[in-house]
Chains A and B, each alone.
Chain A
């Protein structure tokens, strides 16, 4: 019996798979201590299945504890040790201002204030130590003096030469004891570019004490109920053991959305669709990711809350377009949607909780895409009159008929999502028309077909379990460990021996020497000739040319060890045909099928629709 529990912004979803049957439950998310909502959802799903906690063999958990703490700045009291002369690295960032024309828009403040930054008397260069580490005792004493709960250590060129970081780490642990968390940049990240490595190490140190405390509470509660210790979803889309996650919180800053990506990978495999563009649209935002050749696309460089994180993460792009996004008229007389959202409170006008601004959900109700008689998730009764009034008021301001205005709201919202999907495809050199569109989340199926049309996509997948798909994805996800090290191999140093990894599979970040941007290649033999061929083919595909005279440089080796997740059986579903225009009610979601789209349900319960003609 397999259990997946996913914590979202409003609801915590549980999915229990037993003998091919899927049981689901939702409980309100409990922001103060997410483990309460988790246990409530678990109790509810066990009850639904008539199962006992002791029957559960495997629990996988995705949560937003680390993400929320980072976004809200509620982090451990952290100190930073960096090479003397470079203690402001995180504050300086990449020196670009955050917004071009809002001159005082600030980047998030470093998690470590100036008075807790300490310079280490040492210098390491690209080829090794230049100046030996000195005054270690004084350094450790000064760090101890500021009574930190965690310490981040990031020295220049430690990705290749970590000797001084290790010495400082040992001395800190000895002086401060086990209670104080120490993160070393070469262990957390292992790649070059000091700002990104330092920022990631800082986040790792500042979040780990808090995440460890949460996981201890969760394990205690689970043990009391007779459940096994959960595995934890990482930002990479693979699961980590409890200890790994508690030791390196930076691995989990995208734990929540990564569950959706894991679900997309699962669906891809079960439906035999290797290439999927996926969008998960909820109340306030829409997450987009790409499955290529059956695997979720990853990135090793992205920002979370304005802080770069140099760790493998599912390549998810989020835009502020959800069911609760508010429509408005701007100073030039154009119709705009978002980024402001009515959220869950007061929610869209049609929730009847005091919201009176028109939202995307209100527009869908006006257009008849939502059934006013059917309650939404969380048993919200829809107030059609309130929706009509809110949309009507905006329509008057714009000089439009009400229904045209509603259609416009949906179209402009779709436009935002299309832009997000373009960022994830065309901006990365990929043609969306080679993909099928996978839509899930409470609002995804409402918009899916229109978005597919806009992008010229001809195949659309909507899983039956749209509403709790992320929890199901967790239950089936792989276990995974990643390790990256910058090696900068070229010329004679670029050999098969240097490229080999001890265990698992390797990916390589490769560039032509002189370039400052790398392409990551996978599924290639650790052989210089093979690496060159695969790299050049990818370079040509992405950028339209090869440079036959250019020298190849392998910048970083990324090692990945994977243990396949448990086999999840899907309950066989009755097959049925669908032909647009029609609206199909799914559990906790609604699918709009416009004219020109038709298809049927496959054995996994997924509706597979094709563009006709």
Chain B
């Protein structure tokens, strides 16, 4: 056992965790957009001076492994107190454009203690369509403003917000991110004052080692050897195949996506950081979720994806759906390789709007059954865990009416443990609006495991006509959009 004694270890880990949670609370409570406040589509974390993630607050799993890439992108800059950095470039520390990351260096005197970072999904970052989540983009530029790492001062804030829709809201949300980082910085400085700078460094190293030890202890319990999984994504012009070979070797795990589809013309591409995030999510599910969320837990894991493939795309491939949809499939591959029934496998991204307003929502569905329990119904299953927007709040704010919001009965797969049911959500437009649907599992159902039945595929219906998993167009006043989300797979013979 290195460095700290077992007690100090818990105390430091607790202090870091409290700091991250407080950052998250500040961000959620001071942002303006429903996306951050109601849906809590954001994450906060603290890093050491080397850019290793020391602790992350539990918000959105898709940010889990991707935050370190953002800090790595600015780590080697010349840092000064109170000079924060901003980025969203998927090929320089980002994931997809709406996720904007703000990184603030933390100093004790003139010594760099580490970084406080916050990431939030902004409701709009410019580009071709309101909401910046086009269903059919083919280049990054169509998806919005690409922010390479740069200093975030008042001028930059004005300039960037000015390129996006609802600039006042963007400005407020970015300020909320800065406020969250200041809070994290303050907590880190307080810890350094109490422990001393060098002891804090040792303590954070010990926290990382501790997470690594616990992860290795869990991996060592898995049977050694290779497991394989194959699954598909539903691109507009056909299926894209993804492949995984998972190798457990003692207390280490290698996840190799060799053989997966090349990057494509559409926007299901992922930067490697997103692929890594999804793998970390699945590994956390398969090991012990109580292990502190830090870079230490990532050390026993190797993730490989061929350069230029869908899972390790090259600039300037479009990526809007990679973060929200492909990431779910990557998690499915890992969970499936280890014998788990699959959940709905999509976030069912729905964007509606005009030039004056944008409304974005994601919908829950069926969770895959677990070896010991039924899968819950109507929940986010993997990389997302955002809240819905209440029907009453939605109708107060937008010219939309909800016609039905219900559990989609019997859509979960049968089994010794049943898969969860999907949901039905039907909206009526009260004026002409554009819509954009980024969904998956419309052609291929979520699979059951061990003899459990598959869940039901999802359905998208526009003005009475069924459309594909990626669709966009105009919904006229009085027309309806009906989404039926997929059910989860069952586990074991019914």
Chain A residues in the interface with B (C-beta under 8 A): 85-89, 91-107, 114, 125-126, 156-157, 159, 192-195, 329-336, 398-400, 404, 407-408, 411-412, 415-416, 418-419, 422-423, 426-429, 488, 512, 514-517, 542-545, 547, 549-550
Asked if B141 CB lies within 8 Å of chain A CBs, one says no
Interface centre among A100, A106, A422 (most CB of B within 10 A): A100
Give 24 pairs: A residue, B residue, CB < 8 Å, sorted on A: A86-B402, A86-B404, A86-B406, A92-B406, A95-B387, A95-B388, A103-B367, A103-B381, A104-B370, A104-B373, A104-B375, A126-B396, A156-B395, A192-B396, A194-B392, A195-B390, A331-B213, A331-B217, A336-B10, A427-B21, A514-B169, A516-B393, A517-B38, A544-B179
Interface residue B321 (Cβ < 8 Å from any Cβ of A):
no
Contact of B392 among A192, A399, A423, A545 (CB under 8 A): A192
| B378, A95: Cβ atoms closer than 8 Å | yes
B407:A96 contact, CB within 8 angstroms: no
Of B18, B32, B343, the residue contacting A512 (CB under 8 A) is B32
Please state if B30 and A544 are interface contacts (CB–CB under 8 Å). Answer: yes
The distance in angstroms between the C-alpha atoms of A610 and B219, with both chains bound, is 50
What 8 pairs between A and B have smallest CB-CB spacing? Answer: A101-B289, A408-B7, A543-B30, A95-B364, A104-B370, A332-B214, A85-B404, A104-B373
Which residues of chain B have a CB within 8 Å of any CB of chain A? Answer: 1, 5-7, 9-11, 13-14, 17-18, 21-22, 25-26, 28-30, 32-34, 37-38, 58, 61, 168-169, 172, 175-176, 179, 182, 210-211, 213-214, 217-218, 281, 284-285, 288-291, 343, 363-364, 367-370, 372-381, 385-388, 390-393, 395-396, 401-407, 409, 417, 423, 426
Q: What residue of chain A has the Cβ atom nearest to residue B408's Cβ?
A: A88
**Are A96 and B380 closer than 8 Å at their CB atoms?**
yes
- Pairwise interchain contact A514-B217, C-beta atoms closer than 8 A: no
Q: Which residues of A contact B13 (CB under 8 A)?
A: 334
**Which residue of the partner chain A has the closest CB to B23?**
A427
Closest Cβ–Cβ distance, residue A576 to chain B (whole Å)? 33
* Chain B residue at minimal CB-CB distance from A399: B1
Residues of A contacting B38 in the complex (Cβ-Cβ under 8 angstroms): 516-517
The residue among B175, B392, B402 with the most chain A CB atoms within 10 A of its own CB is: B392
A85:B379 contact, CB within 8 angstroms: no
Partner of B393, one of A102, A192, A407: A192
Point out the residue from A96, A428, A516 that lies within 8 Å of B34, measured CB to CB: A516
Partner pick for B289 among A102, A329, A419, CB 8 A cutoff? A102
A91 pairs with B370, CB closer than 8 A: no
Q: Which residues of the partner chain B approach A515 to less than 8 Å between Cβ atoms?
A: 32, 37
B7 touches A411 (CB 8 A): yes
**Whole-angstrom CA separation of A489 from B26 in the bound complex:** 26
A486: min CB distance to chain B, Å: 9
How many angstroms between the C-alpha atoms of A419 and B22 in the bound complex? 10
Known: A423-B21, A427-B21. 5 other contacts (CB 8 A): A86-B404, A156-B391, A194-B390, A427-B25, A517-B38
Residue pair B210, A422 in contact (C-beta under 8 Å): no
Report whether B364 and A125 are in contact in the complex, using a CB–CB cutoff of 8 Å: no
Does B404 contact A95, Cβ atoms closer than 8 Å?
A: no
Q: Nearest Cβ in chain B — how far from A433, in angstroms? A: 11
Q: Write the chain A residue with the least CB distance to B186.
A: A426
Report the separation of the CA atoms of residues A335 and B219 in the bound assembly, to the nearest whole angstrom: 21
Q: Which single member of B5, B6, B211, B395 contacts A126 (CB below 8 Å)?
A: B395
Bound complex: CA A335 to CA B11 (Å) = 10
Chain A residues whose C-beta falls within 8 Å of the C-beta of B18 in the assembled complex: 418-419, 422, 426
Indicate the member of A94, A193, A545 with the most B CB atoms within 10 Å. A94
User: Contact at A103–B210, with CB atoms within 8 Å?
Assistant: no
- Cα distance, A544 to B29, chains bound together (Å): 11
Q: Which residues of B contact A91 (CB under 8 A)?
A: 377-378, 407
Checking B5, B369, B386 against A104 with a beta-carbon cut-off of 8 angstroms, the contacting residue is B369
CA–CA, A46 and B376, complex, Å: 52
Cβ distance B169 to chain A, nearest Cβ, rounded Å: 6
Q: Assess A333 versus B391: contact at CB under 8 Å? Given A97-B380, A126-B396.
A: no
Interfacial chain A residues near B6, Cβ < 8 Å: 329, 333-335, 398, 400, 408
Q: Is the CB of A411 within 8 A of B11?
A: yes
Which residues of chain A have C-beta atoms less than 8 A from B363's C-beta? 95
CB–CB A517/B289 < 8 A? no
A426 to B23, alpha carbons, bound, how many Å? Answer: 10
Q: Which of A95, A404, A426 contacts B379 (CB 8 A)?
A: A95
A residues near B37, Cβ cutoff 8 Å: 515-517
Which of chain A's residues has its CB closest to B409's CB? A114
B409 CB contacts on chain A under 8 angstroms = 114
Shortest Cβ distance from B372 into chain A, in angstroms?
7
Contacts of B29 in A (CB 8 A): 429, 517, 542-543
A550 to B22, CA, bound (A): 26
Residues on B with C-beta less than 8 A from A428 are 25
CB distance from B212 to the nearest CB of A (A): 9
Measured in the bound complex, the distance between the Cα atoms of B421 and A293 in whole Å is 49
Q: Is the CB of B405 within 8 A of A85?
A: yes
Could you tell me the distance between the alpha carbons of A106 and B370 in the complex, rounded to whole angstroms?
12
Known: A95-B379, A95-B380, A95-B388. A86 touches B405 (CB 8 A): yes
* Chain B proximity of A402: nearest CB distance (Å): 13
Given contacts A87-B406, A516-B34, contact A412 B25 (CB under 8 A): no
Known: A85-B404, A335-B7, A427-B25. A92 touches B169 (CB 8 A): no
Q: How far is the CA of A205 from the CA of B76 in the complex (A)?
A: 60
- Distance A91 CA – B364 CA, assembled complex (angstroms): 12
On chain A, the residues within 8 Å of B285 by CB distance are: 101-103
B370 smallest CB distance to A (angstroms): 4
Q: CA separation between A334 and B376, bound complex, in Å?
A: 33
- Residues of chain B within 8 A of A550, CB atoms compared: 168
Q: Given the complex, which residues of A lie within 8 Å of B369, measured CB to CB?
A: 104
**Residues of B close to A125: CB separation below 8 A:** 395, 401
Contacts of A105 in B (CB 8 A): 376
Contact assessment for A86 and B391 in the assembled complex, using a CB-CB cutoff below 8 Å: yes
Q: Is the CB of A103 within 8 A of B34?
A: no
Whether A332 touches B213, Cβ cut-off 8 Å, given contacts A192-B392, A427-B25, A543-B26, is yes
Which among A88, A103, A329 is the interface contact of B368 at CB below 8 angstroms? A103
Interfacial chain A residues near B11, Cβ < 8 Å = 411-412, 415
A112 to chain B, nearest CB (A): 13
> Given the complex of chains A and B, what is the CA–CA distance between A166 and B405 in angstroms?
23
Compute how far the CA of A549 lies from the CA of B168 in the bound complex, rounded to whole angstroms. Answer: 10
Whether B58 and A330, one on each chain, are in contact in the complex, defined by CB atoms closer than 8 angstroms, is no
CA distance A334 to B378 in the complex (A): 37
- The CA-CA distance from A488 to B391 in the complex, in Å, is 15
Q: Is the CB of A422 within 8 A of B22?
A: yes
C-alpha spacing A125/B387, complex, angstroms = 22
A407 to B, closest residue via Cβ: B7
Contacts of A416 in B (CB 8 A): 14
Q: From the candidates A97, A411, A418, name the one contacting B367 in the complex (CB within 8 A).
A: A97
Chain B residue numbers with a CB within 8 Å of A407 are: 7
Question: Do A193 and B392 form a contact, CB below 8 Å, given A334-B9, A516-B38?
Answer: yes
CB distance from B160 to the nearest CB of A (A): 18
Q: What chain B residues lie within 8 Å of A98 (beta carbons)?
A: 376
Do A103 and B343 contact each other (CB < 8 Å), given the known contacts A95-B364, A331-B218, A412-B7? yes
Most chain A CB within 10 A, of B6, B9, B172, B387, is at B6
Residue on B with the closest CB to A123?
A: B401
Most buried by B among A93, A104, A515: A104
Measured CA separation A388–B403 after assembly (Å): 65
How many Å lie between the Cα of A549 and that of B208 in the bound state? 45
Neighbour of A106 across the interface among B17, B376, B407, CB < 8 A? B376
Distance of A550 Cα from B25 Cα, bound (Å):
22
The answer to whether A514 and B32 have CB atoms under 8 Å apart is yes
- Give the Cβ gap from B216 to chain A, nearest Cβ, in Å: 9
User: Which residues of the other chain, A, contact B211 by a CB distance below 8 angstroms?
Assistant: 332
Inter-chain contact A194/B373, CB cutoff 8 Å:
no
Q: If the complex has contacts A104-B373, A106-B373, A192-B393, are A545 and B385 also in contact, measured as CB distance less than 8 A?
A: no
A556 CB → nearest B CB, Å: 12
